[in-house]
Amino acid sequence: MADAAIHGHDHDKRGFFVRWFMSTNHKDIGILYLFTAAIVGLISVIFTVYMRMELMEPGVQYMCAEGMRLTAAAPGECTPNGHLWNVTVTAHGILMMFFVVIPALFGGFGNYFMPLQIGAPDMAFPRMNNLSYWLYVAGTALAVASLFAPGGDGQPGSGVGWVLYPPLSEKEAGFSMDLAIFAVHLSGASSIVGSINIITTFLNMRAPGMTMHKVPLFAWSVFVTAWLILLALPVLAGAITMLLTDRNFGTSFFVPEGGGDPILYQHILWFFGHPEVYIIVLPAFGIISQVVATFAKKPVFGYLPMVYAMVGIGVLGFVVWAHHMYTVGMSLSQQSYFMMATMIIAVPTGIKVFSWIATMWGGSVEFKTPMLFAFGFLFLFTVGGVTGVVLSQAPLDRGYHDTYYVVAHFHYVMSLGAVFGIFAGVYFWIGKMSGRQYPEFAGKLHFWAMFIGANLTFFPQHFLGRQGMPRRYIDYPVQFEYWNYISSIGAFISFASFLFFIGIVFYTLFAGRRVTENNYWNEYADTLEWTLPCPPPEHTFETLPKREDWDRSHSH
């Protein structure tokens, strides 16, 4: 360790431009990913707030053909602008899915902490790491540009929903749709390059004596995620490439009048789309495992079942895709199979939840901010999982398909689950990354505002779905007003808490209390990153770590 610390001032020699724009250092690239994802996340959340403003009351008050408004229009003053609504829904989905959660969890925390946890000096291919980040930035720029490019209805932007279903996406005028497709291509290329890098690093660069069964759970979660990305994203690339050629080169993969099949697109898309859920949520699982073990002051209960549950989730994630498609007219035997497989995937997920609870059970639980977010994650993810088992039943799904019940379900799993995982990770590691600690009271305030706001936003949507309100509509009958109003209030609270979080981060970076010790939590934060100074020097583990640095059973 002393050898690594000697190099602590190396990065002072690099200028700002060289350090941040030409970096091949996994720690710097991880920070760049987190920073960029936060900016895109803010844009996406603003879209959310605008949608919830519109849905607060029946009638169209804000999204008018006469122009976007920030104050409610009087009755009769506003011609509804459905295209603007569709563009907002599409942009929110595409940005959140491809440019916020995966880059933050996989690109940000994965790049920064996976090499540290296995004792690697850097990633296996540092320049490839740089390439994967800049591909992501280029994809983000294209995605934002597609909002302003000419689209359908003679207006800017493409409004086809984030899943880009044909025939709507085939018929959408303008080149906004093509830009969106290229944006997703670049995002996918970035993730694939990053996943090759992470798999190679994990397999070849572990510290001496660190066998696969001794690797920390967060590093395992990133490794499994990398395999999912490597196997799933090329399938998506194929689907959207076919869409592109259908639109521009006269092919008819998905055009019914040319002998194509729109349902084929759905199969290919969801073959990627279901592993995508686990690509998003597995790194969050890894973060929660580290946080729970640290603040329950106990090693994680059932380490091996936790690892194999992640691998099981990864494998099963590829064989359940058509549960998104019960309503397309599949045969009964197909539906029966997908129902069964979807219920089985709840088993490894349940193993993880019960292992976290068992870790806390009998532990000396310390309610610091990261632990609160871990509790929030457990509650929200479990609610999302239970409604997922409801939706796995084809007969029930007939009624719930494309209603707000589905919106509530997947936001509980993905946006609330994954986002609470990101927040837990930020509060857990921000002292390690920046050398300054966040203000504890402010962190707890952020947690409660976010938790209450998020539940107030999405829980009422279960009721809207049960009443039969379809999703992706700009307007609705007066019967649905009550729960929509409450949901919108929740969205505003969540947005305020997110702004508060940005404030906490800036306060921490510029005025937070300096961290003096390497491990500022307790001895149960026992992975290798806690043996390094805060922030870690530019070059770490030039002398490989000794086994007693990380293997508790070996050293005791």
Q: Is 554 a catalytic residue?
A: no
Q: Is 278 a catalytic residue?
A: yes
Q: How far apart are CA 399 and CA 465, in angstroms?
A: 9
- Among candidates 283, 165, 286, 186, which has minimal Cα distance to 233? 186
Q: How far apart are CA 315 and CA 309, in angstroms?
A: 10
Q: Is 471 a catalytic residue?
A: yes
**Identified catalytic residue from 323, 401, 409, 539:** 323
Residues 6+ apart with CB under 8 A from 45: 494, 495, 498
Q: How far apart are CA 161 and CA 158, in angstroms?
A: 8
Q: Is 26 a catalytic residue?
A: no
Peptide bond into 262 cis (omega under 30): no
**Identified catalytic residue from 48, 195, 225, 349:** 349
**Identified catalytic residue from 28, 170, 178, 276:** 276
**Identified catalytic residue from 52, 83, 185, 274:** 274
**Identified catalytic residue from 90, 169, 191, 294:** 191
**Identified catalytic residue from 52, 298, 324, 409:** 324
Spell out the SS3 assignment of 160-193: CCCCCCCCHHHHCCCCHHHHHHHHHHHHHHHHHH
**Identified catalytic residue from 62, 85, 162, 427:** 162
Structure tokens at 409: 């379900």
Q: Which pairs with CB-CB distance under 8 Å and at least 24 residues apart come from 76-84?
A: 80/474, 80/475, 81/155, 82/159, 82/474, 83/151, 83/152, 83/153, 83/155, 83/157, 83/159, 84/155, 84/157, 84/159
Residues 6+ apart with CB under 8 A from 469: 403, 404, 476, 480
Q: Is 352 a catalytic residue?
A: yes
**Identified catalytic residue from 33, 62, 133, 278:** 278
Q: Is 448 a catalytic residue?
A: no
Q: Is 191 a catalytic residue?
A: yes
**Identified catalytic residue from 26, 52, 83, 92:** 92
**Identified catalytic residue from 14, 444, 466, 471:** 471
Phi, psi of 230 (to 5 degrees): -65, -35
Q: Is 336 a catalytic residue?
A: no
**Identified catalytic residue from 36, 201, 221, 289:** 289
Q: Is 289 a catalytic residue?
A: yes
**Identified catalytic residue from 48, 190, 355, 387:** 190
Q: How far apart are CA 38 and CA 265, in angstroms?
A: 31
- One-letter amino acid for residue 551 of the chain: D
Q: Is 400 a catalytic residue?
A: no
Phi, psi of 434 (to 5 degrees): -110, -15
**Identified catalytic residue from 26, 247, 298, 352:** 352
Q: Is 20 a catalytic residue?
A: no
Q: Is 133 a catalytic residue?
A: no
**Identified catalytic residue from 26, 27, 83, 122:** 122
Residues 6+ apart with CB under 8 A from 302: 351, 355, 358
Q: How far apart are CA 338 and CA 74, in angstroms?
A: 48
Positions marked active-site:
92, 122, 162, 190-191, 274, 276, 278, 289, 323-324, 349, 352, 471
